[in-house]
């Protein structure tokens, strides 16, 4: 996002620096009892598919939580979880969950639906062979992080996701719903006739999230 750690003022200290303050999996620096979290922390442990410095608010919160556990005596390793980010550019809201590369790899297939206004789109990336979902990208439509994360964590298949896509939608009441158009697009592309089983609704989403 164009942000980078401002660590110049630490150059003359004993702290080990690179682009940011170097930390291990417990967010410990090279100096005992000194930790780094948020935008200034640079992970020495490379998490698959992740960057050493992740300057977004939710990783800032998660690194803070991890340090809180550790300084309170519970040894907890940082786990960045499934990549997630959300932002607002002027009037367009944007979210990404999981792996949505600009140039999909050979094994990745992408279902892309766009509203005729050009201001709303839904992209679902999935594995061409196993059909499990790999990522979601939303423009102008709000999808719940917890629901998308669960589908990604459980390696849910694209067809099950599409049939239940309404579980993820948390646009305000009376906003138009586009999940039927998305599954319709998939049906046209694949010659299938999958029904949309779940429309937008909080109760069904909560039941899904409480499921064991």
Q: Judged by CB under 6 A, how many residues of this single chain contact ligand FAD?
A: 11
Stretch that binds ligand FAD, among 12-20, 52-60, 127-135, 182-190 (CB under 6 A): 52-60
Q: Does 46 bind ligand FAD (CB under 6 A)?
A: no
Phi and psi for 187 in degrees, rounded to 5? -60, -40
Q: Is 132 within 8 Å of 183 (Cβ atoms)? A: no
Q: Does 80 bind ligand FAD (CB under 6 A)?
A: no
Q: Does 34 bind ligand FAD (CB under 6 A)?
A: no
Kindly give the residue spans of alpha helices, DSSP state H, lying in 21-163.
57-71, 145-153, 158-163
Stretch that binds ligand FAD, among 57-65, 128-136, 137-145, 183-191 (CB under 6 A): 57-65
Residues 73, 10: Cα–Cα separation, whole Å? 27
User: Nearest-CA neighbor of 143 among 102, 195, 182?
Assistant: 182
Kindly give the residue spans of alpha helices, DSSP state H, lying in the chain.
57-71, 145-153, 158-163, 179-190, 202-210
Stretch that binds ligand FAD, among 50-58, 98-106, 139-147, 202-210 (CB under 6 A): 50-58
- Closer CB to ligand FAD, residue 95 or residue 121? 95
* Contact set with ligand FAD (CB under 6 A): 1, 3, 38-39, 55-58, 60, 85, 87
């Amino acid at each position: 996002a164009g942000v980078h750690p401002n660590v110049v003022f630490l150059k003359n200290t004993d702290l080990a620096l690179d682009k940011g303050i170097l930390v291990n999996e417990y967010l410990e620096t090279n100096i005992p009892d000194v930790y780094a979290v948020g935008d200034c922390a640079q992970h020495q442990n490379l998490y698959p598919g992740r960057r050493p410095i992740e300057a977004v608010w939710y990783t800032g919160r998660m690194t803070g939580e991890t340090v809180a556990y550790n300084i309170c005596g519970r040894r907890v390793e940082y786990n960045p979880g499934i990549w997630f980010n959300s932002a607002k550019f002027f009037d367009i809201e944007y979210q990404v969950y999981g792996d949505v590369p600009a140039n999909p790899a050979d094994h990745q297939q992408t279902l892309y639906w766009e509203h005729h206004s050009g201001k709303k789109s839904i992209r679902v990336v999935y594995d061409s062979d196993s059909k499990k979902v790999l990522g979601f990208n939303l423009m102008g439509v709000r999808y719940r992080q917890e629901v998308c994360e669960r589908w990604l964590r459980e390696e849910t298949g694209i067809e099950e996701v599409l049939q239940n896509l309404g579980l993820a939608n948390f646009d305000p009441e009376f906003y138009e719903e586009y999940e039927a158009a998305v599954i319709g697009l998939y049906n046209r592309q694949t010659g299938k006739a999958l029904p949309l089983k779940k429309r937008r609704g909080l109760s069904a989403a909560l039941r899904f999230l409480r499921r064991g």
